[in-house]
Structure 1
Amino acid sequence: MTMAHPDHHIVFLDRATLAPEIVLRRPAFAHGWTEHAQTAAHEAVERARDATILILNKVSLTADAIAHLPNLKLVAVAATGTDCVDKGACEDAGIAVCNVRGYAGATVPEHTFALILALSRSLIPYRADVLAGEWQKAGQFCFFTHPIGDLAGRRLGIFGSGDLGRQVAALGRAFGMDVVFSDRKGAVQARAGTMPFAQVIETADVLTLHCPLTEDTRGLIAAPEFARMHRKPLLINTARGGLVDEEDLERALASGQVSGAGFDVTLPEPPPLDSPLMRIATRPNVIVTPHTAWASREAQQALADQLIGTIEAFAAGQRAQLLVQGRR
């Protein structure tokens, strides 16, 4: 949509991060609209130069880039995580920042448990065995080439007690699991409703990550933590790449410190073919999915609707949904 003398020019840098069938309606105010399927970081400034509102999902927007965008008034992140944007630089420049929240309350927890169930019951390797003719070779009604475990009675340790962590907890309780939330790593005393970080690491049968990537959480799970995993747990990450040291994970799997891993996120994305996570991806006790935990049709449409609604609110002078307020 392009109108004469628009109030805003909107540029979407990576529209292909939403599925083609998702309806992204145009905002109900005068505006110009430009979208690109994908944008490399070095292309961002040139493509965003005339934008007053910039939409992005995973394109990196650095302080240097922000300094070259004097017309920019709002950065709208089409996701919950905003680590791709230098929010401090935006604040210094008077640029508002918003994200999308609450749209993934069903899709991410369901994907988390899809990984937990598939690994607990060895679904992937059993399927491979069936396709390879192992059932016929067994000569009986079933065969036992991979371990199978129930979730009922096992401890589920959750890192992150936001909306997604709480929804995962609800699913865990429905399966009869003993659900515990971890306190922050290094906390002197556990907060009410949480268990000390080290105790969760040592006693959980399944560990699942639902926290943001910050300087405090980068490398949250690494060699010292793997060494303390006495229960040889499953490790699930549907949050952010970088929370787990992938090289240490590779060693932990090789030594049996963990019994399996289900990862939907890596750092960077996509991962290089020779990265630790890609090296372990062929193991029968590892499942790697391409950052699709969030991507049910329902969740993507809710994201798109909220994204445009927040942009409309900003254009109307409403600031309640902003992470960085920007200039008024």
Structure 2
Amino acid sequence: MAKAFMYVFFAYSGFQQPFYILSEIRTPRKTFPRSTLTASFLILLLFVSVNLAYVLVVAKDLQHDHLDVPMATLFFSQVLRSWQAQQATAALTALSIFGNIVLTALTTSQVNQEIAKEGILPYGIFFAKSYYTVYGWLSTRSWRHDHLVSDDKVPIPALGLTLASSLVLIGLTAMLPPLAAFEVVVELYTYFAIILVPTAVSGGLLYLKFRPKSTWASRASFKPWLSSLFPTLYFITSALLAITLFVDPAPNSPLELAPGSIKCFIVPAIGISTLAWGSAWFLGLKIHGWWYKTEILAMREALVVQVGEDEYVQLLETVDASWEGYEGSGSSGKYKERGTNIKTD
């Protein structure tokens, strides 16, 4: 049941992706809410409809006898009664996966770039920069694309970091059967990015809201009703899933009998270890600053322009990050690294 809920979370996780690229939207305050609500409604309708179609068309015994075959393949093979159905389903699935990869790679590279701007990543100067793509450079010089902005750049170094980590993950799962390897990759992403991280974020928001000395909520211009209810439900649901996914399935369960299946605790353990490695790196930075009496000082100045009534977007940003000594410590010159003076679009 917990793994089924995890896949449901994965199906609805697409609504989070625009959060990372709001600066790329012309009128985010108008476009974002409308697009998010529309997309969430369409996903709800399609997800329920597709699962109902699977249940009505594919018999339970057929599912149990073909655990290594995707449900979509079984569905179309029963509907079309042709071997071409399996090939067509595989092609459509690959196309869907490719679109997901492109979107996730873009948003993840934006996150990596923001982390680099704060001086947390090593070689932050390199990973925080943006460059022209060949296609973008050629497009701005074509009469068909004269509406494009010529200084629009892409965080290519951060995208390369995402590509490198993805290749490592693919190499580690290459020993498994293709379907099992795909499920492991999806489960790792879902557990870490959609369950574990939101659990920490929602818990942190609740802590800040109910902390006695906290005053940030009183300065908010928008105060919805029942503002504590939704993060509380989200935190409880995500935390329960994060814990129950460690439990092995019942004997003779399809999850236990699936070819190439791995122990259920492996994916959650890897997800938690990833968060632990990130925490260890951040703790190492704190220890470095305590030992040398320095701290990471990131100065960021954004150029914001108005594009409509009460609509503002960020045009570019200048970043300067370096290790600076505490005031009066006398170590700012000795341990200061070369700062990053970057302009990113």
Query: For this structure pair, what is the TM-score category when the shorter chain's length is used for normalisation?
Result: under 0.3
Larger Rg: 2
More strand by share: 1
**TM-score (normalised: structure 1):** 0.26
**TM-score (normalised: structure 2):** 0.25
